[in-house]
Amino acid sequence: MSNDSEKRLVKDLTLMLLYLTSWEERDDGYSYRRSWKGYDFDTLNELAKEELLSGSHKAKSVYLSDEGTELAKKLLKNYRISDQESRSDRSNDNC
């Protein structure tokens, strides 16, 4: 596997794990997904540059953008991993 392919795989897997371990929060009529950022910081920074997630460097969690959420769902489908929409049931469990 080439270095570029390996980096792409790590980014894909990280985004999927961020989504799978995320929870939904609501504020002023908006809802968004958050996840703990216990992953490689270089990978998280690359995903942030692609505007798939955002968050302060000091914070322990990140926000998944709508694009990041949709891409994670697409990747899960491509890898044939079940996307149980019950992720929103975890709302605030991790806070």
Concatenate the DSSP letters of all residues of the chain into one string. --HHHHHHHHHHHHHHHHHHT-EEEEETTEEEEEEE--S-HHHHHHHHHTTSEE--SSSSEEEEPHHHHHHHHHHHHHTT----GGGGGGTTTT-
20-78 pLDDT, tens per residue? 999 999 999 999 999 999 999 999 999 999 999 999 889 999 999 999 999 999 999 99
66-77 pLDDT, tens per residue? 999 999 999 999
Which one has a higher pLDDT value, 89 or 36?
36
pLDDT at residue 90, as a whole number: 52
The pLDDT of residue 94 is above 80? no
Question: Going from the N-terminus, what domains does the chain have, and what CATH number goes with each?
Answer: 3-79 (1.10.10.10)
